[in-house]
Every structure is written in C-alpha cells, then in structure tokens.
Structure 1
Amino acid sequence: MFLKKPMGPRAVTLPDGRKLTRGDLPAPDISRWVASRKALVVEAVVYGLLTKSEAAEVWNLSEAELDEWVSAHTMHGAKGLRTTALQKYRQPKGECA
C-alpha cells in the first residue's frame, strides 16, 4: 500500500503553544464555513502548514477570499471571521460603528 506523503511540514506550533496538523483541518468537501473552520485554514496558511494556493485548491476558494479571511483574522481574531459580524468588523477604516 502506498501513501502519498504531503509536501511541507506535517505539523506547526502556533504562538499560543497549540499544535496544528493537517488532520486538524476541515474536510475538503466542506460546504458550511463557520468562523472556527475559517480560523483553522487561516492559521495553517499564516504559520506555513499550507500555501495559499494549496488552501485555495483544496477548499475551492479564491485567492481574494482567502486574503480577506487572513486580514480579518489578523485584525480581529476569529471573531472577525463571523458572517454575522460583517458590519461590525469589516467597515471601511474611516467609519465608526
């Protein structure tokens, strides 16, 4: 039996001490994206477990959508990835809530 060995690291250690592995990531056929799943994908990309192009290909995302997730996670954490918080967290910089 032959198992395909993935390119790149198998696990990364996040700044808070957690380990993130490829097994922790959402299934490739996911259809419902919640903030916690988005956060896992963003952390995998930011900390080098996956490349942006790999993530976009696996979950059928556009590079622009993935960039929006990364910037929202960087600015507001996992709460910024909630779809119900679009107005609160994703306003243009000059406007107040």
Structure 2
Amino acid sequence: MNVVPFERNQRVTSADRVIGPLGELIGREDLPAPDSQWTPRRKAEVVAAVNGGLMTADEVMSLYNLSVEEFASWQRAVERFGLAGLRQTRIQHYRDLQERSQRFGWAA
C-alpha cells in the first residue's frame, strides 16, 4: 500500500481517496480484501471509506458480509473511542464505560 502523507488542514477533493485511520489517503484498492482477517486498523479503514463517501454502507455490508448491527458498532466505536475502540480486548470495557456515562449523565 502506498502511503501518501496528509496534512491536517489539507482537504481531499477527489471522491476516489479518503483520509484513513492513521491520517493517510486511502482508495478502494487500499481497503482490505473480503477474506482478510479483521484487525482494528482494517475495520477503521472500512469505516473511514464509508464516512468519507468512498463507498456506501450497503456496498461495504454486502462486500464484507457484515450485518447492519456489526458495522454500526464499528462506526460507534471509532466515533467514541478511535482506533482503540475496535480492539477486541477492549470492547467490553468501552461498552461498560458507555453504559455508566448514560446512567450518570456524563459524556464518554
């Protein structure tokens, strides 16, 4: 994968590239293969592709055989906790943190 350095204030104007989870520009060719083993970074790349308009959620769910719930959980994890939220070992911790924050009214 070719990594193109990206500056924070730079705008991506073409629809064929989006900002990846580590700040690099990624295109469809950089996304994981459908038979890849999922890692936090690969999940975050797929979420970035949808959030950036590179692919639709329907395309991603069909290509990677994901349920709506699974993909939505990835999006929530990235939005709330970043790449670390997608680590399998931390999911329960972040879920508990989110439940506590809702119960006591503070932001997580």
> What SS class does the counterpart of residue 100 from structure 2 fall into?
coil
Question: Aligned match of 1:18 in 18, 24, 28?
Answer: 24
Taking structure 2 as the reference length, the TM-score comes to 0.70
Distance in 2, matches of 1:17 and 1:94, equals 31
State the Cα distance separating 1:59 from its structure 2 match. 0.5
2:94 alignment counterpart: 89
Residues 19-64 of structure 1 deviation map (CA, whole Å, 9 limit, x = unaligned): 110011000222x211011010011111111100000000000111
Change (3 A) 1:75 1:56: same
Residues 48-92 of structure 1 deviation map (CA, whole Å, 9 limit, x = unaligned): 111000000000001111000000000000000010111221224
1:52 alignment counterpart: 57
Identify the structure with the greater helix proportion: 2
- Sequence identity, in percent? 41
- CA-based RMSD of the aligned residues comes to 2.0
Regions of 4+ moved over 4 Å: none
Q: Provide structure 2 residue ranges, at least 5 long, that are not aligned to the other structure.
A: 1-14, 102-108
1:40 alignment counterpart: 45
2:33 alignment counterpart: 27
Tell me: higher relative CO, structure 1 or 2? Use CA pairs within 8 A at least 6 residues apart: 1
Question: Aligned match of 1:73 in 70, 78, 87?
Answer: 78
- Equivalent pairs counted in the alignment come to 86
Change (3 A) 1:13 1:87: closer
Change (3 A) 1:17 1:40: closer
